[in-house]
A and B are shown apart, each in its own frame.
Chain A
Amino acid sequence: MKCRQEFKLTEGKKERIGVYVCHCGGNISDYVDVKKVVEEIKKGEPNAIIVKDLMFDCADASQSEMIEDIKAQKLDRVVVAACSPKLHEATFRNMAKRADLNPYMLYHADIREQSSWAHEGDMEGATSKALAHVRAAIAYVKSAEPLEKIKSETTHSVLIIGGGIAGLRAAIDLSRMGVNVMLVERSPALGGHVAELGEIYPYYTSGPEIVKGLVDELKGRDNVAIYTNATVMSYSGYLGKFEVKVKVTHRQPGSEYSEITLHVGSIIVATGFDTYRPPKGEYGYGTVKGVVTLPDLVKALGDGSKELIYEGRRIREMAFIYCVGSRQKPPEDGGHANLYCSRYCCNAATSQALTIHRRFNNVKIYHLYRDMRTYGRNELMYEDAAKGGSIFIRFDEDHPPLVAEDGDRCRVTFWSSLIENQPVDILVDLVVLVTGMEPRQNEELNRTLSLPAGSDGFYKEIHPKLRPVETNITGVLISGTAQAPRDVRETLSSASAAAAKAASFVLKNELELDPFVAFVNPQACEAHQECIKECPYGAIELVEELGKKARVTSAKCKGCGACVAVCPTGAIQLKGYTNMEIKSMIEELAR
């Protein structure tokens, strides 16, 4: 009897681990000696039953191979050493699930972003780092325990922040899918920038027409609530259950504003962009009469007049100057610059030229550009504009045109490489600065949401290809020009994408959340209550019935682990990151 028990104990203790080291084509194996990593693990880890290097761990065939191994070899733990877990951890956890292995018995170690790519040219260093990361992952899975996802009920509604065309489009899509929509718009009116513009490419529909089309579709939909003059004050919660406080300002005297609380399952941020405002003097802006920005022109063209007149001046000749506020050189003092291309502007300016050629006779248009980026079908607009009489002249970044006043006209001096950089003067009645987009100045909202932004200041998705509308905050999505410069078409499709993603979250009755929440080992708990003081979410309480022990309410726990650091006895720990798991990883990493 005793013997059998002991036998069982040792049998139960012996882990059966599968280790899969990825080449990633050559992304990893060019700088990490993958074969050596495999050999070392085989040599030093008797419990690693399977140790393989695969060309692509994530490939379907590789995943099938892993599933077969897990089943045939009765593997109970798996280590995948590949790219960043941000890309494929979910992929491999799903693979484990398909192999009937608890997905949390798998660790995804990063040997690409943090080894091969970071230490190219140092194969020895990169290899020993990768090996250490794999060993640590093995140590982790050895002490890992099966975990179950936490199930949480979802609220079948979505908050959309921003009532421009992106927000309106997303609202329509969600409403049609049967999702309750709450749309919060800071200004008194819907439509954002587009509502103020004239004809917009493609198809030359006017801005107000586009907005009216969208707003009309929303009217009469009983599952949509629109709040204008409203701003988001605070938010809390998590995917499936966000609570958002919104301040609505009233225009009637008496009540200044009211505060409402919205319960939603997901949030779409569609806060749009700011137009680049040239500083005074850039290409004569604000100093030379007749120098305007592209949005100024588009608004002016919206009035339907027969003649092109701008601020009393009849326009016979005009010049567009491109890339204003875009593709800027980084200043030497390390200050801010818009390094990116704003994407929409070449097309927008060219299409406005077409509109002018079509509507007014004998307006001569010069286009002074750095590079003409009328991509895709927009190339046809460029061709048509050239045929219609537009003259395109390329200038060099180091030799930008000069704009000066000349009587009641503007004198534009430019240098073109085609004429050996000799200065050429042209006289025009209007200079249009083709201005780009900038991230919306929205400090208060940014502070409230603390959404990650890229170095350009636009909100950043988790991955441009794999998770293009999701942010680091699960359940908070981004769309339209809040994410990147886009034209109307692209904005609307990204809004529909965000709406579909939000619906995929909230239309489920139950959501599954990662099980990384705090738990208490009652044997070790001495009721110091430091954890209770440390937890900002009120997830921990002292339970008298348990004999004065701390207890965690999983649904309230966000999984930060702040309580873990302050516990004098180490009784409170985080699932998936237990003290034992962390310490054993540290030991392996130090080898």
Chain B
Amino acid sequence: MSTHAFEPKILVFSTNIISDPGIDQAGMSHINYPSSSRILRVPCSSMIRPEFIIHAFESGFDAVFIAADGGDCPYLSDCSVRTARNVQRASEMMKENGIDQSRLRMAGICSVCSDAFAKGVKSLYDITKGLGPVRSEGHDRAS
């Protein structure tokens, strides 16, 4: 094991119109959250293919946070239901691949939900820190 303290890498999926502005708001309010997070924006959380989430773990992310549109989605009134269903599929795929399912989290983050976002990412960070790196779970990256 490395002597360096383990810093969980977290991929955040945000949405252009709703949760990305909420995450911006966290920065604008100088609310800190783990800097080992990386943010990737898409139009709507309902478009996140389970395969993208698995790809993130395969690429070396230790956790994935879906900052979903929640009830504010400008496209779909049932966006949360759809996103949750896709996230559920990803979670099942994680199980099949031997990845701890608590490494994946989804939360509705509105365009001003900066606190909820920071808290959510921090708590996922803490959980992941306890679990250790994703590669320690015997997951074969080369597959």
Contact = CB atoms under 8 A, between A and B. Distances in A.
Contact of A574 (B27, B33, B47): B47
Bin the interface of chain B by size. 35 or more
B97 interface: no
Given A112-B27, A132-B38, A136-B38, A586 B55 contact: yes
B112 A564 contact: no
B43 interface: yes
Contacts of A129: 35-38
Contacts of B61: 586, 589-590
A114, A119, A120: most-surrounded residue (chain B CB, <10 A): A114
Contact of B112 (A454, A559, A561): A454
Nearest to B72: A450
A125 interface: yes
B75 A560 contact: yes
Interface stretch (A296-304, A406-414, A576-584): A576-584
A114 to B, nearest CB: 5
A473 interface: yes
Contacts of A59: none
A577 B13 CA distance: 13
Contacts of B9: 590
B127 interface: no
Which of B35, B61, B75, B110 has its CB near the most chain A CB atoms (within 10 A)?
B35
Contacts of B46: 560-562, 565
Interface string A147-162: 0000000000000000
Given A114-B24, A118-B32, A133-B38, A561 B43 contact: yes
B129 to A, nearest CB: 15
B98 interface: no
Contacts of B51: 570, 579
Interface in B101-143: 110-112
Contacts of A582: 40, 42, 52
Contacts of A370: none
A558 interface: yes
Given A558-B75, A561-B47, A113 B35 contact: no
B38 A472 contact: no
A118 B59 contact: no
Interface centre among A115, A129, A558, A586 (most CB of B within 10 A): A586
B56 A590 contact: yes
B139 to A, nearest CB: 14
A565 B35 contact: no
Given A562-B82, A585-B40, A586-B56, A113 B23 contact: yes
B36 to A, nearest CB: 7
Contacts of B35: 115, 118-119, 122, 125-126, 128-129
B43 to A, nearest CB: 6
Given A125-B35, A589-B11, A590-B11, A86 B21 contact: yes
Interface in B2-52: 9, 11, 17-18, 20-21, 23-24, 26-28, 30-40, 42-44, 46-52
Contacts of B82: 534, 562, 565
Interface string A448-491: 00101111000010000000000011000000000000000000
B40 A119 contact: no
Contacts of A574: 43, 47
A472 B112 CA distance: 12
Interface string A15-44: 000000000000000000000000000000
B59 A536 contact: no
A117 interface: yes
Nearest to B23: A114
B76 A136 contact: no
A583 B50 CA distance: 12
B80 interface: no
Contact of B111 (A120, A452, A560, A590): A452
Interface of A: 84, 86, 110, 112-122, 125-126, 128-129, 132-133, 136, 450, 452-455, 460, 472-473, 516, 534, 536, 558-567, 570, 574, 577, 579, 582-583, 585-587, 589-591
26 contacts: A114-B24, A114-B27, A114-B39, A117-B27, A117-B30, A118-B26, A128-B35, A129-B35, A452-B18, A452-B21, A452-B110, A460-B112, A472-B17, A472-B21, A472-B74, A560-B75, A560-B79, A561-B47, A562-B75, A562-B82, A565-B49, A579-B49, A582-B42, A587-B55, A590-B9, A590-B59
Given A122-B32, A570-B51, A582-B40, 10 more contacts: A86-B20, A86-B21, A113-B24, A452-B18, A454-B112, A472-B18, A560-B46, A560-B75, A562-B76, A590-B59
List of 6 A-B pairs having minimum Cβ-Cβ separation, nearest first? A561-B47, A125-B35, A560-B75, A117-B27, A590-B59, A113-B27
Interface of B: 9, 11, 17-18, 20-21, 23-24, 26-28, 30-40, 42-44, 46-52, 55-56, 59-61, 71-76, 79, 82, 86, 110-112
